[in-house]
């Protein structure tokens, strides 16, 4: 779920749940399954690229993204050790 406030601040939240067959050789982990679940949250800031910006042809997107696992590769114990916090910078320019 996302909401864009004035096309500038964009908070998002997502629940994810992945699963697959039990094949340790294929997945390459101790549990043999890829089952993972958790929540991903992001706050993005998009200052330009709107019709009233100084330039609609260039855009910048800065985001802070956090992924929190409650299950990773089929195991709940130690899943939080795979949590991530990312700072993202995206630069776009329009094609002429």
Nearest CA to 90 out of 52, 53, 54, 42 is that of 42
40 in any annotated domain: yes
The count of structural domains within the chain is 1
Does 37 map to a domain?
Answer: yes
pTM of the model: 0.76
Range of the domain at 38: 9-93
In a domain, 43, yes or no: yes
The model's pLDDT over 63-83, given as tens digits with 9 standing for 90+, comes to 999 999 999 988 899 999 999
φ and ψ of 57, to 5 deg: -90, -10
How distant, in Å, are the alpha carbons of 57, 85, 87 from that of 96?
9, 35, 29
3 part of a folded domain: no
pLDDT in tens, 7-62: 889 999 999 999 888 776 776 666 678 889 999 999 999 888 677 777 666 778 89
Instruction: Tell me whether residue 65 is in a domain.
Output: yes
pLDDT value at 96 more than 60:
no
pLDDT at position 58? 73
Residue 13 inside a domain? The answer is yes
9 pairs with which residues across the strands? 5, 45
């Amino acid at each position: 779920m996302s909401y864009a406030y004035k096309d500038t601040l964009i908070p998002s939240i997502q629940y994810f749940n992945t699963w697959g067959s039990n094949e340790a050789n294929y997945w390459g982990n101790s549990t043999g399954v890829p089952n993972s679940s958790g929540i991903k949250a992001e706050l993005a800031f998009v200052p330009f690229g709107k019709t009233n910006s100084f330039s609609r042809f260039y855009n910048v997107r800065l985001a802070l993204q956090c992924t929190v696992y409650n299950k990773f590769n089929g195991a709940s114990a130690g899943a939080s050790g795979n949590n991530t916090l990312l700072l993202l910078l995206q630069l776009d320019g329009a094609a002429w």
